[in-house]
Structure 1
Amino acid sequence: MNRQVGQTKLRICDARDEGAALMIIDVQQAIDDTRYWGERNNPDMEERLADLLACWRGGNGHVVHVRHFSRTPRSPYRSGQPGADFKACVMPRQGERVVTKHVSSAFVGTDLESWLRRHGVARLVVAGVATAHSVSTTVRHAACLDFGVSVVADACATFAVEDRHGQRWQADEVHRLNLALLDGEYAHIASTFEVVRHY
């Protein structure tokens, strides 16, 4: 299973080797604040993330945990608030990289790119939240930097959106549309089963 994104090929079958990293984005307690975010799709995301981590930790690939510390005053992602803490299903272990960001892309204002290059990482397997925001932005940025990228669709989630005309887009619609926009142009779209079954 090969997909050309930028100049780097991503092969799911060797994703857990030393040249690859599993990147989990913004899976923090904040995502459970339904009063702030509203409807979320994919209630099984946490289970799929746990499956991915259990599989990945058995190989030689890197694990990168991206956390968001918002500068928005009322955001549940603000540093120092309970919402800024990692969810239990993705709690980093010793030796796993933690990257703190303040904007949508995990590459802006961080040392993520230089760390990945220094460790010989050319391929990324990405999961987390929100599909329409930090996941999409980070994936596009990674592809523009010539990383091979795969997005694990059932290990991502997003929230419902209301546009300026008052039309409400359900969370699952937003999720599927954003994955469709990434597929082929910026990333290969995979499932947890696809990733795990190759190991």
Structure 2
Amino acid sequence: MVRQSSNARLHLYDARDDAAALLLIDLQQAIDDVDLHGVHSNPALNDRLEELLTCWRGGNGHIVHVRHFSYTPGSPYRSGHAGAEFKASALPLAGERIVTKHVESPFIGTDLEAWLRRHGIARLVLAGVSTGHAVSTTARHAHCLDFGVVVVADACASFPLDEIDGERWSAEDVQRFSLSLLGSHYARIASTREVVQQF
């Protein structure tokens, strides 16, 4: 049975909507480490992120920067490692919310849900990396908590993936599949232009 919750009533949330927040997920320097991840699917990622941030900072200002701090020794996402620092295109400004997670979902072990509820936020606009991992987990978890979800397709990115039978999926194929799966049930898929032009 398909849920008929807030996602059934989705419209494109814009930066003037006081009940909407922009969540930027795992936009840390390590994502540009080609030796670690391979080349991601979105060469225009930085430009799209800057567009979203400019728009949202001129609107209601509900921006949440989610970062991943790994507990694994030697991980480039470990606190204190350069790879764990925010990308230049997604640096938080003073007063913008930062949520630090240690697993895929930013709702686990953090006060993110409580903060969103306290600010009257019911709708989330997601961007970041990777689409099939932390972005997908965040969208699914938010959907289960009855938040409305929009995933900004061209402000997300995926990495190449090895299948269980040894074949290699390109980053672009992983991106298309991940967005298609999210769009089938958990979120509305939109472009940066569609979101920004509402402003």
Using the size of structure 2 for normalisation, the TM-score is: 0.94
Quote how far apart the aligned CAs of 1:61 are.
Answer: 4.3
**Aligned twin of 1:6:** 5
- Deviations for 1:155-174, whole angstroms, at most 9, x for unmatched residues? 00010001221100000100
User: What residue identity is the alignment partner of 2:163?
Assistant: D
Q: Give percent identity, aligned residues only.
A: 62
**Aligned twin of 1:65:** 65
User: What residue identity is the alignment partner of 2:39?
Assistant: E
**Aligned twin of 1:179:** 179
> Secondary structure in 2 aligned to 1:11?
coil
Greater shift in the superposed pair: 55-64 or 141-150: 55-64
CA contact (8 A) 1:19 1:61 kept: no
Q: 1:163 to 1:184 in 2, by over 3 A?
A: closer
- Deviations for 1:129-176, whole angstroms, at most 9, x for unmatched residues? 000100000100000000000000000001000122110000010011
**Aligned twin of 2:29:** 29
CA contact (8 A) 1:33 1:76 kept: no
The runs of 5 or more residues in structure 1 that have no matched partner are none
- Deviations for 1:85-123, whole angstroms, at most 9, x for unmatched residues? 001111101111000000001111111000000000000
Number of equivalenced pairs: 196
Does 2:165 align with 1:165? yes
Quote how far apart the aligned CAs of 1:72 are.
Answer: 2.1
**Aligned twin of 1:152:** 152
Does 2:20 align with 1:20? yes
**Aligned twin of 1:111:** 111
The runs of 5 or more residues in structure 2 that have no matched partner are none
Distance 2:4 2:142 in 1: 10
Quote how far apart the aligned CAs of 1:184 are.
Answer: 4.0
User: What residue identity is the alignment partner of 1:137?
Assistant: T
CA contact (8 A) 1:126 1:151 kept: yes
Quote how far apart the aligned CAs of 1:195 are.
Answer: 0.5
Quote how far apart the aligned CAs of 1:14 are.
Answer: 4.4
Greater shift in the superposed pair: 158-167 or 12-21: 12-21
Does 2:96 align with 1:96? yes
**Aligned twin of 2:142:** 142
> Secondary structure in 1 aligned to 2:67?
strand
Moved over 6 A (4+): none
- Deviations for 1:10-55, whole angstroms, at most 9, x for unmatched residues? 3215453211100000000010111111121111111100000001
Distance 1:32 1:14 in 2: 29
Using the size of structure 1 for normalisation, the TM-score is: 0.94
Greater shift in the superposed pair: 144-153 or 161-170: 161-170
> Secondary structure in 2 aligned to 1:74?
coil
CA contact (8 A) 2:15 2:60 kept: no
